[in-house]
Structure 1
Amino acid sequence: MDQARRANHQQARPTFAELFTPKLVTVLREGYSLAHFRTDAIAGLTVAIVALPLSMAIAIASGVTPERGLYTSIVGGFIISALGGSRFQIGG
């Protein structure tokens, strides 16, 4: 019984490529519907409502202009969302 359990455990291990495949690629492979897009868009707007003023405040506290905080927040959010490793990760 113990050997069967080990064999099942080893077969269930993901490969190196599967571990580091961006979530955008895996979601598109599995099928991404319009309903999923709508819920993701609402979630993205919710994160933006919180993240954009916060990024401006952090930029001001760091001694740079608020525009730089906005640029960093927007570009960083897209990069994290596109290349992040987990579909449950919040990239805001």
Structure 2
Amino acid sequence: MPVIADDVVLERVEHILGSGTGTLDFAVAGESEYYTWYGIEDADWSITGVERIENDDEDRFLIYPNGDYFRCEVTADKQEGNSGPVRCQSE
């Protein structure tokens, strides 16, 4: 799974798999692996245009867009311990 260690814009994100520890995994249409962003527990991230969240009471949760995809602007300067920001919005 590719690790996000530099700033990137991800288009056509089908869903986001998140955890309470600050990790976000992005499922991009046409890709076979998640793009993983390792953030800190209190990292600055926001996701707008959410249709539904599954397993929202557990440590791992899936976030689905209100539209077809999310577009995500991800800030990273290292492989682990990033603080953000990460901004995703439904297209």
TM superposition score category, shorter chain reference: under 0.3
If each structure's helix is expressed as a fraction of its own residues, which one has the higher value? Answer: 1
TM-score, structure 2 as length reference: 0.21
If each structure's strand is expressed as a fraction of its own residues, which one has the higher value? Answer: 2
TM-score, structure 1 as length reference: 0.21
